Structure 1
Amino acid sequence: MFIQTETTPNPATLKFLPGRDVLPEGTANFRDAETAKVSPLATRLFAVPGVDGVYLGLDFVTVTKSDWTDWSELKAPILGAIMEHFIAGLPVMGDDAGAAEAEEIFDPADQEVVGQIKELIETRVRPAVAQDGGDIVFRGFQRGVVLLHMQGSCAGCPSSTATLKHGIENMLRHYVPEVTEVRAV
């Protein structure tokens, strides 16, 4: 099995491409070993000292490292853990992994505007950030402010503020005049 790696705009994350589907439906973001218990693959990765976060996408795994470690020390054990997991034929997610969706916050009167915002995020934003090993998820719309949650390589990325303000905010304001600002939550 050959696993490719790609750098991301976030120097604390690497994107691992195992050459097969990881999560055919949805995504999963784990910020610590406790939340990763629903995923045998994420649990295995958190067992590697220096792993601070795991994000699972369609055909990739994004790993965030601790500040105290270096990729030169961490890359090989992560590659080994991913390879062993897939070669053993183990599931990526456990049977008890229910889809715990965070509640979206918006006024029901804004349903049409929220629909436009979500469509733009799904069709234009999420595919672009997935290429960099991350994800951006809609969380709410209040008084013109769009609330987004950043995951994977997007979380903690030095360029994420610029992506939000100059990319996503400008696009949303162009297509949806009701949008005045975009914030990360």
Structure 2
Amino acid sequence: MSDQINRLPVSIYAESTPNPISMKFVADKQLVAGSPIEFLSVDETNNSPLAGKLFQYPFVRGVFIASNFITVNISDAVDWNDIVLEFREMIQQFLSEGNLVIKEPISGADIQKDFTTSIDSNRIDSNLESRILSDQDLKIAQILDEQIRPAVEQDGGAINFKSFIDGKVTVELRGACSGCPSSTVTLKSGIETLLKRLVPEVKEVIAEEL
């Protein structure tokens, strides 16, 4: 009787990001349903065999898993050019063997159940569930979701709306965007400029440190 594993056809390619410590690995299949999931240490990976396997490398600092891609952050003491092929092959083998990326679905908070907008509530931080979102909150979140999020995901990251208080918008940057040297420029020259133009009450946009 053969012990050979029946492998599934899976294609993975690596894509560099604006963050030199981050590499994006894109799959030709869905990896998770719903909102992206980020793991910042091996202790957080009990529910994700793939993230746990990636953290076996001691220089891995973060794993971000979205619909069809994985962003891996590493120590700046390591050069991606030396390891990218090994990581691509490891991820491809893991997926082709039919292993689970996530053991159980991780659902986002059920925020403001009577939402009547098209905003994906998983893009809004769960801490907001304790208060009623204002019209300005909803408008800002919708702009981020529809006009900013696609570009951020293209770079291997994600952006979540945290709060809007006294003219200041606070967002959370994840994946490749977290700690990226160019994220401050993007935040100020791109996101802040857009929000100020579309929502005059916005005076400043800042990123919350993880």
Note the aligned Cα RMSD (angstroms): 1.9
CA contact (8 A) 2:59 2:78 kept: yes
Counterpart in the other structure of 2:120? none
Q: TM-score, normalised by structure 2?
A: 0.81
Identity level (%): 36
Are the counterparts in 2 of residues 44 and 81 from structure 1 also a CA contact under 8 Å?
Answer: no
**2:170 is the counterpart of 1:147:** yes
Equivalent of 2:29 in 12, 20, 29: 20
Moved more, 150-159 or 94-103: 94-103
Shift of 1:150: 0.4
Residue of structure 2 equivalent to 1:103? 127
Tell me what 2:48 maps to: 39
1:170 aligns with 193
Q: Match of 2:192, as an amino acid?
A: E
Whole-Å Cα distance in 1 between the matches of residues 90 and 47 of structure 2?
Answer: 17
1:70 deviation in Å?
Answer: 1.6
Aligned residue for 2:149?
A: 126
**1:104 and 1:138 in contact (8 A); partners too:** no
Contact kept, 8 Å, 2:71 with 2:176, in 1: the verdict is yes
Deviation, structure 1 residue 102: 3.4
Question: CA-to-partner distance for each residue in 1:74-120, whole Å, 9 max, x for gaps?
Answer: 22332233112211212211227454663038974x61000000000
Relative to structure 2, which stretch is displaced further, 77-86 or 22-31? 77-86
Q: Contact (CA 8 Å) 1:105, 1:140: kept in 2 or not? A: no
Q: CA deviation at 1:25?
A: 1.7
Contact 1:48 1:77 in 2 (8 A): no
Equivalent in the alignment of 2:5: none
Give the match for residue 68 of structure 1.
77
Aligned to 1:11: 20
* Per-residue Cα deviation, 1:155-178 (whole angstroms, up to 9, x for no partner): 011110011111000100111111
Where has structure 1 moved over 4 Å in runs of 4 or more?
105-108
1:183 matched residue in structure 2 = 206
Worse-matched range after superposition: 56-65 or 88-97: 88-97
Q: In 2, Cα distance between the equivalents of 1:139 and 1:116?
A: 13
- Is contact 2:12-2:28 (8 Å) kept? yes
Instruction: Count residues with an aligned counterpart.
Output: 184
Give the 3-state SS of the residue equivalent to 1:47 in structure 2: coil
> Aligned equivalents of 2:64 and 2:187: distance in 1?
20
Partner Cα distance (1:106, 1:125) in 2: 25
Larger-gyration structure (1/2): 2
From 13, 21, 38, give the equivalent of 1:29: 38
